[in-house]
Structure 1
Amino acid sequence: MSRGYALRRVGWGVATIYLVLSLTFALVAFTPDPNAALVGFAAAVEGGSAEEAMSAYRAARDLNTPVVQRYVGFLVDLSTLRLGVSLDSGRPVATMVGASGLVSLAYVLPAVVVSTVVGSAVGVYTTVRDSPVLDRLVAVASYGALGVPNFYLAALALAVGTALGLDLRASPTAPTTAVPLRTLVLAAAVLTTTLLAAQLRYVRGETASRASMTFVRTVRATGAGRLRVARHLLRVAALPLLSLFAAELLGVLFVGTFVVEAVLGVPGLGTLLLDALDTRDVPVVVGASLAFVVVAIVVTVAQDLLRESLDPRTGEE
């Protein structure tokens, strides 16, 4: 892999971060803030001035400053990683994002590891085992898991837990350090279901399409066992599997984290971003969005660099 390619991919990643966060800023800046009307209504109900209350609300959120000036300040703060403080709680945004990110990581990382290891192992085993009955069972199980929405699995698990006298849902208003372990385990299990099914189908499809190639027949002819054949198949299928699983991973994470955290009450990054959007807390919106975008860019760039390194056709420039 050439140094120039790596620099181009990293540069693309940085530019994408600025672009996505700029679009996020524009989405918040150019849409009406419904909370201003609510503040005015509450003041009027209490006998105060609605206009004064709304003016004070806009001033507290710097909404009276021209958009261009706010955007320039946004770019400066982003470039210097000054995320500021929450407009609602007054807490440092970096602290809030870090705490929520650790909660999300506590169930996302196990889900990714388990789905990758188990999905790869079972997928390649079904290929080298070459059993029609096993293939049908795996296909039914994987397609069934992919067809059931995450929110339904989470809601069903909550209902079963309630019937058994177990409270599996966390309190979204509780501190991030107070999330029950059983809730994190359930969140990891729900995410693993979809990721494992996808990884299983990808590995099975890519290795099965190469099982009849000459190099596989040659390896089998030498008397190699299934484990050795599986290693050869995975090595050859590594490049397409890397791209497929990276795309699936990002899709599931960016949708699954919001859904799972909303249903189970997990105070992770998804919950933090949704709450900030609801209250128009721009610093928190930018900070949480930055975390999601950075994860997406890091995964994409890492995938590209690994693919370039693993591709035997790639030489030094």
Structure 2
Amino acid sequence: MAAARLRRALRPRRVQRRRAGPPAGVRRHAARPARRGRLPGVGVRRLPRGHQPPRGRRLGRRAGQHPRLGALRQGLAGLSLPRYAARRALVGAGQVVGVATVVFVLTEALPGDAAVVIAGDQPDPARIALLREQLDLDRPAWHRYLDWLADLAGGDLGVSLVSQRPVAGVLAAGAAPTVLLAAATLLLLVPLSVGLGTLAARREGGRLDRALSAAAVGLYAVPEFALALLLVAVFGVRLAWLPPTAVGTGGDLLSRPAVLVLPLAVLLARPFCSLSRLTRAGMVEAMRAEHVAHARRLGVPEPRLWLVHALPNALAPVAQQLARTTDWLLGGVIVVEAVFVVPGLGTALVDAVTARDVPTVQGLCVLVAVTTVTVNLAADLVAFRLAPRAGAAT
């Protein structure tokens, strides 16, 4: 018996292994049960029987997460379209007044005046003084500025100092060719850039995508006047396929449609590069969004994914870029009209600056400012409707 006790005393004791607990100072938390209505471990809400998931454009509006529109969506949440339009219209009116003031100050700073230009190469001081009195150029500048603003508020742009014609008539005479070039450029630009940008996004990394990228980079680096001179030298002079200038049309460009080909090619080059690349990038980014992937899992057809769920999110920044493109067209048309001898507003502006015809210059600048503000307002309203917003009142 003593030997048995000795063996039990010398037998090694079993050590019970304990599970490794949390570090000192850290409380042990019980596993949280899954929330009611959600699948455990999955962040998707369980849909009840008979519930149909949102289809069509509603899905893109609810779950759209376009990063380019985050600031717009946060700033416009809870703002209705009429209130937003009224706010933007007030801002645009202030911008037009600011542009008119800057233009008046700059034209007053020009050396000489219309009286000196009308007097000729050997002006008589008495005749110059008489002309200044007749043209109201002897009055203080701030008097003429207030009178001009009052007339401008009533829709009167003044009278040309050189031709003594109403400025509105001068602008109307040269507006037809300019409006025709700008409208034709926009009508061709939108379908071409959006269509090719979408095709390049669908074939990301393919031949069309690489060719479009190379052409966009190459054309965007060429200035407008250089491209215009190159096209005139190649297609107008050397090959003689197209008329190099619009001389002989009398301002009616539609009587010879071939005259429009080269000017439209120059005006389309740079805007097409920027808009097509922006559309391509927006479509690629939109197709990688979570709501598009969820719609694909629900069995939405691929064309509907591109046209309904991805394209609206990609078009909002394109609409704003199109407004900036329209601003650029107002300056590009002047260069194109000078190269191709088109009797439009660009030619009228150059002639007015040369003759120191201040009312005509001011009227042209105000017209450009009003057009720019109107186009940007329209683009902002389109982006307002296309931007996915949480809780926005419509």
TM-score by length of 2: 0.72
2:340 & 2:122 partners in 1: Cα distance? 35
Residue 5 of structure 1, CA deviation: 2.3
- Describe the superposition over 1:208-259 as per-residue Cα deviations: whole angstroms up to 9, x where unpaired: 2222223333444526234642442211222222222322331x21321121
| 2:326–2:375 CA contact under 8 A, matched in 1 | no
1:164 & 1:34 partners in 2: Cα distance? 45
Q: Look up the SS of the partner of 1:176 in the other structure.
A: coil
| 1:43–1:53 CA contact under 8 A, matched in 2 | no
Candidates 152, 162, 171, aligned match of 1:78: 152
Residue 139 of structure 1, CA deviation: 0.4
Q: 1:47 corresponds to which residue?
A: none
Candidates 107, 112, 120, aligned match of 1:28: 107
Q: 2:216 corresponds to which residue?
A: 142
Residue 69 (str. 1) matches residue 146 (str. 2): no
- Percent identical pairs in the alignment equals 30
1:143 & 1:226 partners in 2: Cα distance? 29
Gaps of 5+ in 2: 1-79
Distance 1:40 1:106, change over 3 A: closer
Q: 2:372 corresponds to which residue?
A: 296
TM-score by length of 1: 0.88
Point out the structure with max Rg over C-alpha: 2
| Paired residue type of 1:17 | V
Residue 262 (str. 1) matches residue 338 (str. 2): yes
- Describe the superposition over 1:32-84 as per-residue Cα deviations: whole angstroms up to 9, x where unpaired: 2266556667226xxxxx31233234334322111111011101110111123
Q: 1:283 corresponds to which residue?
A: 359
- Describe how 1:50-199 pairs up with structure 2 within 5 A: 50-160=124-234, 161-165=236-240, 167-171=243-247, 175-177=250-252, 180-199=256-275
Distance 1:176 1:57, change over 3 A: farther
Count, aligned residues: 310
- CA RMSD, Structure 1 to Structure 2 (Å): 2.5
Q: Look up the SS of the partner of 2:286 in the other structure.
A: coil
Residue 19 (str. 1) matches residue 98 (str. 2): yes
Residue 164 of structure 1, CA deviation: 3.5
1:185 & 1:59 partners in 2: Cα distance? 48
Distance 1:186 1:307, change over 3 A: same
1:91 & 1:52 partners in 2: Cα distance? 25
Distance 1:144 1:27, change over 3 A: same
- Describe the superposition over 1:162-199 as per-residue Cα deviations: whole angstroms up to 9, x where unpaired: 22445421249x85347853333321221111221111
Distance 1:117 1:125, change over 3 A: same
Residue 307 (str. 1) matches residue 383 (str. 2): yes
* Worse-superposed segment, 76-85 or 158-167: 158-167
Residue 266 of structure 1, CA deviation: 1.2
Residue 20 of structure 1, CA deviation: 0.3
1:296 & 1:41 partners in 2: Cα distance? 37
1:34 & 1:92 partners in 2: Cα distance? 18
Q: Look up the SS of the partner of 2:122 in the other structure.
A: helix
1:69 & 1:130 partners in 2: Cα distance? 62
Q: 2:302 corresponds to which residue?
A: 225
- Describe the superposition over 1:253-275 as per-residue Cα deviations: whole angstroms up to 9, x where unpaired: 13211211111111212221222
| 2:352–2:361 CA contact under 8 A, matched in 1 | yes
Question: More helix per residue: 1 or 2?
Answer: 1
Residue 137 of structure 1, CA deviation: 1.0
Q: Look up the SS of the partner of 1:183 in the other structure.
A: helix
| 1:97–1:269 CA contact under 8 A, matched in 2 | yes
| 2:181–2:264 CA contact under 8 A, matched in 1 | yes
Residue 85 of structure 1, CA deviation: 2.5
| 1:86–1:284 CA contact under 8 A, matched in 2 | yes
Q: 1:8 corresponds to which residue?
A: 87
Q: Look up the SS of the partner of 2:121 in the other structure.
A: helix
2:201 & 2:228 partners in 1: Cα distance? 32
* Worse-superposed segment, 282-291 or 113-122: 282-291
* Worse-superposed segment, 21-30 or 228-237: 228-237
| 1:106–1:184 CA contact under 8 A, matched in 2 | no
2:164 & 2:307 partners in 1: Cα distance? 55
Gaps of 5+ in 1: 45-49
Distance 1:175 1:68, change over 3 A: farther
- Describe the superposition over 1:129-151 as per-residue Cα deviations: whole angstroms up to 9, x where unpaired: 23433221110011111111111
| 2:158–2:167 CA contact under 8 A, matched in 1 | yes
- Describe the superposition over 1:107-164 as per-residue Cα deviations: whole angstroms up to 9, x where unpaired: 1111112111111011011112234332211100111111111111211222221224
* Worse-superposed segment, 142-151 or 267-276: 267-276
